[in-house]
Amino acid sequence: MVYLKTEDEIDALRSANLLVSITLAELARVIEPGVTTKQLDTLAEQVIRDHGAVPTFKGFPNPYGPPFPASICTSVNETVVHGIPSENVTLKEGDIISVDCGTLLNGFCGDSCYTFRVGEVSPQVQRLLDVTKASLYKGIEKAIVGGKRLGDIGHAIQTHCERAGFGVVREFVGHGIGHEMHEDPQVPNYGKQGSGMALSNGLCIAIEPMITMGNPSIRMRPDRWTVDTQDGKPAAHFEHTIAIHDGKAEILSTFEEIEKIEEQKYGKASCD
């Protein structure tokens, strides 16, 4: 069942998502070699709770194992999604880390993810980040009312990434968002043009390409959360929550502050 949102509900979703963006920007300031993913989790939880919200990931149920133990997912290098923060995982120069973050604020959810560089990364890895982030916006461009369907979003993401020689993970997809973090419909990062549900005003969805440098096959670790690429090559993950209203997409989360901080740290990023 797809719940279309009212303007008031979209306002509430915007607040929850801006808090995710604030949290990710706070992490951007401290991500550097020597920092543990546990430190990032502690900071994220503090920022979220200081704003009167709850980290939706903490205690998130898992049908195959224990609930998620932390406030953010920290997925380093070959980890695609759902990496568990740990004091035993220390970031080092040249790593990439995707941080996925969710909030519940005034009854509505925020959900956004950004893949950060740790120091200088190889040109090949930088290209993976650039292409994945650009594909997210290619997908969002298709989120308009009047003939466009869910499949058009997935098709745009898939085409952009596969043309660059990268893999599109199939097992995990974007989703509707509202009172619940995961609502209908599913929003795959692949698809056929003109297929799937017609897009309409009030539809609020998280779009989140998970893209691999090599083969898109994945495997799950024994912790029943961490998902790695099977070939051990790196993966990137960027996610925005959007609301379709007035016929087009408004991006409710924002990378603006993160990008400013990255520019201060590393100089201007290249972008596809």
In the complex, which residues of this chain contact Mg ion (CB under 5 A)?
100, 111, 113, 206, 239
Cα–Cα nearest to 96, from 123, 129, 71, 63 = 129
Q: Which is closer to Mg ion, CB of 75 or CB of 212? A: 75
Amino acid in the structure at residue 27? L
Cβ neighbours of residue 245 closer than 8 Å, sequence gap 6 or more = 7, 10, 201, 202
What percent of the chain is helix, strand and coil (3-state, nearest 5)? 30, 25, 45
Q: Which is closer to Mg ion, CB of 180 or CB of 231? A: 180
Q: Which is closer to Mg ion, CB of 54 or CB of 119? A: 54
Q: Which is closer to Mg ion, CB of 82 or CB of 142? A: 82
Chain-centre distance of CA 41, in angstroms? 16
End-to-end CA distance of the chain: 36
Least separation in angstroms between residue 13's CB and Mg ion is: 13
Least separation in angstroms between residue 251's CB and Mg ion is: 14
Structural contact between residues 40 and 72, judged by C-beta atoms closer than 8 angstroms: yes
Least separation in angstroms between residue 62's CB and Mg ion is: 15
Q: Which is closer to Mg ion, CB of 206 or CB of 218? A: 206
Least separation in angstroms between residue 73's CB and Mg ion is: 7
Least separation in angstroms between residue 205's CB and Mg ion is: 9
Tokens of 235: 């993966």
